[in-house]
C-alpha cells in the first residue's frame, strides 16, 4: 500500500475528511471530525533521524487486540506520540499485506464511529 492508496481507501468511507495539521507534514483522516488514522506525507524526524513519509500509519485499536497484534507482528508497534493503550503504529515495510492494513483501518474507523455521540451517528447514517 502506498500513500495514495491509503488516502483513497480512507476517503471512500462514509463521513471521512482529510486534514493537514502541522504545516502539512501529516494527514489526519477524520470521521465526523474525529481522527481514526494519521500518517506523515513529508519527511520528518523519527527517533532523531530523518525518516521518509508514509513510514507508518497510526490507527486506533481495542486495547486487547492492540497487544495481540504487537505480539504477532513486528510491524505493529505502540502508537507513536499517541496513547500506547489505544493506538498502534503500523509500519509500511512490506511485512503486512495490504488487506491486513485495510482491516486495521476498518477496525480503527469502526471504533471511532462507535464512540461518536448519537447525533453524529445519526448524521453519518443519513450520508
Task: Name the pTM for this structure.
Answer: 0.91
pLDDT of residue 44: 66
Structural domain boundaries enclosing 50: 3-118
Residue 76 lies in a domain: yes
Domain count, the chain: 1
Cell of 127: 450520508
- The CATH number of residue 43's host domain is 3.90.1150.30
Distance separating alpha carbons of residues 87 and 85, to the nearest angstrom: 6
pLDDT of residue 45: 67
Mean pLDDT computed over 31-46: 87
The predicted-structure confidence for 73-116, as pLDDT tens digits, reads as follows: 999 999 877 878 899 999 998 999 999 999 999 999 999 999 99
Concatenated DSSP letters of 2-63 = -HHHHHHHHHTSTTEEEE-HHHHTEEEEEETTEEEEEEESS-EEETTEEE-TTSEEEEE--H
The predicted-structure confidence for 41-84, as pLDDT tens digits, reads as follows: 877 666 777 766 678 899 999 999 999 999 999 999 998 778 78
Amino acid at each position: 500500500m502506498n500513500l495514495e492508496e491509503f488516502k483513497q481507501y480512507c476517503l471512500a468511507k462514509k463521513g471521512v475528511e482529510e486534514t493537514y495539521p502541522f504545516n502539512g507534514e501529516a494527514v489526519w483522516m477524520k470521521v465526523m471530525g474525529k481522527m481514526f488514522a494519521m500518517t506523515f506525507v513529508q519527511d520528518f524526524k523519527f527517533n532523531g533521524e530523518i525518516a521518509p513519509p508514509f513510514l507508518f500509519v497510526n490507527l486506533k485499536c481495542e486495547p486487547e487486540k492492540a497487544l495481540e497484534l504487537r505480539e504477532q507482528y513486528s510491524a505493529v508497534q505502540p502508537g507513536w506520540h499517541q496513547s500506547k493503550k489505544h493506538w498502534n503504529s503500523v509500519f509500511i515495510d512490506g511485512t503486512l499485506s495490504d488487506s491486513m492494513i485495510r482491516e486495521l483501518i476498518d477496525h480503527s474507523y469502526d471504533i471511532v464511529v462507535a464512540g461518536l455521540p448519537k447525533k453524529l451517528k445519526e448524521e453519518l447514517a443519513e450520508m
